[in-house]
Structures are given as C-alpha cells and as structure tokens.
Chains A and B, each alone.
Chain A
C-alpha cells in the first residue's frame, strides 16, 4: 500500500517536472502579477510595504489556482484515472496524494519565489521569516482545496474559470490568517503565532476532509 502510494507520488511529481510548463506558468504568473501591482498603485515604497503581505498572498492564491485543473485532468484524459479508481489505493488516498504532489510541485516553488517578490514590494525585513512560515503552513490548504474544485469540474468546458469561482470563496480563511500572521509580525498588534497556528489548523482540516470530497466528486464524474 505504502509502496503504491509512493509510486503514485513519484509518478505525479515526475510528470509535472518533465512537463515543466505547469510550474513555470505558475511562477511566471506570480511574478507578473506582483510586478504589475506597483505599476498600478504607483511607486510609493511606504504604501507598497504596507500592502506587500496581502499582495503576495492574493497573487499566490491566483497562481495556485492557475494550475489547479491539471491535478486530475491529464489522468482523466489518458484514462489512468480509471485505473486509479480500480487500483489498490482507496480513491480518497489517491486524491490526497495527487493534491500533495500539486503542493510539492506548485506550493513550494511559489513559497520559495515569494521572498524575492517581497523585495520588489519593499516588504519589511523582519517579516520574511513569518512570510515563509505562513506560506508553508497555508499552501497545503490551497492545493487540497483546489483539488475539490478540480474534481468537481473534471472534464467540463471552461473548467478553469469555474474552479476559480468555486474555490476562491473557500480560500477566504487561508488568506485572512496568512496575511494577518505576516502583518502581526511587522506592525502588531498581537502575536503572529496565534494566526499562524489557526492557519496550520485550517491546512490540517483541509488535508483530512478535502480528499474525501474530491474522491466523491471524482466518483460522481465517472459514472
């Protein structure tokens, strides 16, 4: 069982690495959105440093969604999703592993890019540690919640836009606690750790519950 899970994880990671396009697109999108922000708001460094944490989080959510429909789509197209449903791994676990692969392939690279973009937005130096922690704690929720949207819209036309409409409202708690932990680290009031711990809790809940919902949606799509 564990070997099958690891094999699935390795396969998904290899596919997303060899394909290349998905990671590159997400990173490029993230970069572009953050670069466009000062052009829209003006080059005032004080203003930018105040909104940096929020902009980094919002752009990360959008970039994560950009590749969300690929979580199940390629397997659906080439038929390996049918094999997964017949195989020894429970579909819930398979959905969880595929979300995990999405997190490793998208969430972690985006997290690593974030501090570079923080420089562009004049994020205060003492916020970088908390920014990385909050992104690391929050991006699993981003990937796992996106998997629900990907499973619900599997094989539909215009599924990308639909995923955004379905999943973005669910991202509200992640966004709020992610940003508030970073801004509490710079400006206060209060300790950033409480927001960070709640963010971890949200991620853990979504890691447990969203594969169940995603698997149910996959079964509904494969009647």
Chain B
C-alpha cells in the first residue's frame, strides 16, 4: 500500500487526510480574502453607495439580504450535489460536505427572512407579505430544517447519510415545482400592486457594492463550509478512536 503512488487531481482530494491538509493550507488565505471582500463591500455600501431616491438608506439592507439569498440557494445546490456523491460513489467525504452545508444554508436562509422582513416594514408597511419570493424562501427554510431534523433523528451514521441524501434530492426535484406553484398562487391571489422591485433597474453605484458583497459572501460560505467539514472529519475520527478504545477496554 505504502509504495503506491497517491492518485492526483480531484480523486486525490477525496482522501480525508489530504483534504484536511488542503483545508489547513487554504483556510488562512480564504479567511483573509473573506475579511477583505466583506470589509470593502461594507465600506462601499455604507459610505460610497448613494441612498436610493425612493427607499432612502434602507436600500442598504439589500447588500446583506441579496447575497444571503444567493448563498441560501447555493448551499442547497452544494447539498444536492453532495447527495449525488453519497448515493452514487458512497464517499464519506460527500456526506461530510452535505452535513456541514445544511446548518450554514439554514442560517443564511434565516438571515434572508429576517433582513427581508426588516426591509419590508419601512417599505411595504408590514413585516411579512405572502409574496411568491418570500414564500418560497420560507419553504426552502423548512426544507433545511427537515434535513437537519432527519439527520439528528437517525443514530446510525451510514443510514443518516443515505436518508438525508435521498431527502435532499427529493427536495431538489421539488424546489422548481414549489417555486412555480408559489408564483402561480401569488399571481392568482394578488396582482403585483403592493410593491414592485422593478421601476428603475439597479444603478451601477448600487450594483458594484452588491457584487463585492456577493463575492465576499461566497468566500465566507466556502470558508465556513471548509471549517465545518474539517470539524466534522475530526469529530468522526475522535468517535472512531473512542470506539477502538472501548473495544480494547472490553477485550482487556
């Protein structure tokens, strides 16, 4: 075994030890990049971006709200792809990725809902509107909660991995249908009269900070995901070592 050349490329990364060393090498750089991007983005959005002519200063909620929405959907994509990895290649690292991404995605979805409702109060005069977008975000949040709850309810780790992977894929198939049906529902019940995001398309002075913040949030998600994966791999190792110790103690 020891004299065999380690496989290179992506399949080499599938080895947890090599993955851990990569994470350790990348983390400081990624952390620095995240701080720089979000710091610059916050500077841009607070001091450079002009207040909107209609919304005033509250438009700045957008710089947290919209990137969080991107991440909340991106995280579900990561989970669904990892679920494919679990079910097709049965690789433990894919399950680590899926498990680590679920709480992060749920948190970003929660941030979207909270910031959206705080933005909604001054703009629409109410904290919650059953708008199609808000509703589908809320359902995405419920799907995340379901994933986390199912994982916690199953004790056997292999079964938990497969079951959550199946649920993630079922959710991924359903999400477009849910999105479509919620759009239909909203247009049927309430024409777009309460509020419209349209009107002026977003001005470049607001768009630049938004994209910087978006890049910063992507870096933040990657960083959190890698750190959570590292913590999960290490805790699984500790668990395995504990079981070996228990077996030794029982044998002695």
Contacts and interface: CB of A to CB of B under 8 A. Distances in A.
Interface string A145-162: 000100011001111001
A173 B87 contact: no
Interface string A192-219: 0000001000100100011001001101
A217 B149 contact: no
A217 B166 contact: yes
Contacts of B171: 169-170
Nearest to B155: A156
B188 A180 contact: yes
Contacts of B153: 153, 156-159, 162
Interface string B149-170: 1100110101100110011011
A104 interface: no
Contact of A216 (B149, B162, B173, B185): B162
Nearest to A156: B153
Contact of B154 (A156, A177, A219): A156
Contacts, number: 83
A170 B158 CA distance: 25
A168 interface: yes
B139 A169 contact: yes
Interface string A166-188: 10111011001100100010000
Given A165-B145, A169-B142, A220-B163, A176 B150 contact: no
29 contacts: A152-B150, A152-B163, A152-B166, A153-B150, A156-B153, A165-B145, A169-B139, A169-B142, A169-B143, A169-B146, A169-B171, A172-B178, A173-B174, A176-B181, A176-B182, A180-B184, A189-B188, A198-B181, A202-B177, A209-B173, A213-B169, A213-B170, A216-B166, A217-B162, A217-B166, A219-B162, A220-B159, A220-B162, A223-B156
Interface of B: 87, 139, 142-143, 145-146, 149-150, 153-154, 156, 158-159, 162-163, 166-167, 169-171, 173-174, 177-178, 180-182, 184-185, 188
